[in-house]
Amino acid sequence: MNPLEKRDEREKLAYILREKGFYVRLHAYEYLVMFRNKILCSIYVHPAANLCIINYNKVTAKGNRNKLSDIIDAIKKLAPNIKVIVNKVPK
């Protein structure tokens, strides 16, 4: 069982990201993550498939390279075996 199937664990992920300085809005299995008042990425968790998809905004991310690794580290802290796919948009 993937830990992110549990609501408490998904809320814990939001809390960890907030502690790292992100604004996070969580709705079920979807996260909107902002940094410095700009949308940095959306995260979609599919625990049954053991998959996490991050749609990462390259334009907003300029000058914030470490932020993607902070996000992935937070996810892996709670679900170390989850597969993380990063889509960098716009292409």
Determine the Cα–Cα distance for residues 60 and 10; give it in Å rounded to an integer.
Answer: 24
Tell me the domains of the chain and their CATH numbers: 3-89 (3.30.310)
pLDDT given at position 87: 95
Q: What is the pLDDT of residues 46-80, one digit of tens each?
A: 999 999 999 999 888 777 768 999 999 999 999 99
pLDDT given at position 26: 97
- Within 13 Å and on the Cβ side, how many CA atoms surround 35? 23
Q: Which amino acid is at 23?
A: Y
Determine the Cα–Cα distance for residues 73 and 91; give it in Å rounded to an integer.
Answer: 24
Q: What is the pLDDT of residues 12-55, one digit of tens each?
A: 999 999 999 999 999 999 999 999 899 999 999 999 999 999 99
